[in-house]
């Protein structure tokens, strides 16, 4: 009788531990990889650069650019990028944004390279900005997307 109670208690603890582990893993996975449709606020110490950042974003919104899209293999999901052409230049740069950003958040680098005579490509990585994807791939699939973009240049 006591042996049966120990087994039930052990089974209950194991089931609880498995359930809690699953919920914790699911939460952490979604926190790290799930698509976000906003750019998170910056920390207070970086807010002092906000006015300068928005000047670059204003430049990005005003400059002549092309919006490029292409469909992924299944044809339903669209990938998105902005291309800022330079006058009579064969030089090009692809500027990749960071975690939970998008191409627009790299406007400061885009302006710098454009002023140096580069054609600039600002892709929205998978799960970011206007690009498709339910989950962020941390560059694993994005590296292949860059090859597709390069073939368009």
Class of domain 44-152: alpha beta
Q: Look up the pTM and report it.
A: 0.72
- Pairing verdict, β 92-94 and 66-71: unpaired
Evaluate if residue 39 carries a pLDDT over 70.
no
CB atoms within 10 A of CB 83: 19
Give the integer Cα–Cα distance in Å for 104 and 123: 9
Pairing of strands 119-124, 92-94: parallel
Q: Residue 38: its pLDDT value, please?
A: 67
What's residue 26's pLDDT? 85
The H or E element spanning position 78 is strand 78-84
The two structure tokens encoding residue 10:
């052990």
């Amino acid at each position: 009788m006591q042996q049966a109670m120990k087994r039930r208690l052990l089974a209950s603890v194991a089931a609880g531990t498995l359930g809690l582990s699953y919920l914790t893993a699911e939460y952490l996975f979604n926190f790290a990889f799930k698509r976000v449709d906003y750019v998170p606020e910056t920390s207070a110490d970086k807010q002092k650069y906000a006015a300068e950042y928005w000047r670059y974003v204003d430049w990005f919104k005003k400059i002549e650019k092309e919006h490029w899209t292409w469909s992924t293999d299944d044809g339903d999901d669209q990938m998105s990028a902005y291309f800022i052409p330079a006058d009579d230049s064969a030089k090009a740069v692809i500027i990749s944004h960071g975690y939970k950003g998008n191409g627009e958040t790299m406007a400061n680098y885009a302006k710098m390279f454009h002023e140096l005579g580069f054609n600039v490509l600002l892709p929205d990585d998978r799960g970011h900005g206007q690009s498709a994807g339910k989950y962020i791939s941390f560059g694993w699939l994005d590296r292949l997307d860059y090859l597709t973009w390069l073939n368009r240049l």
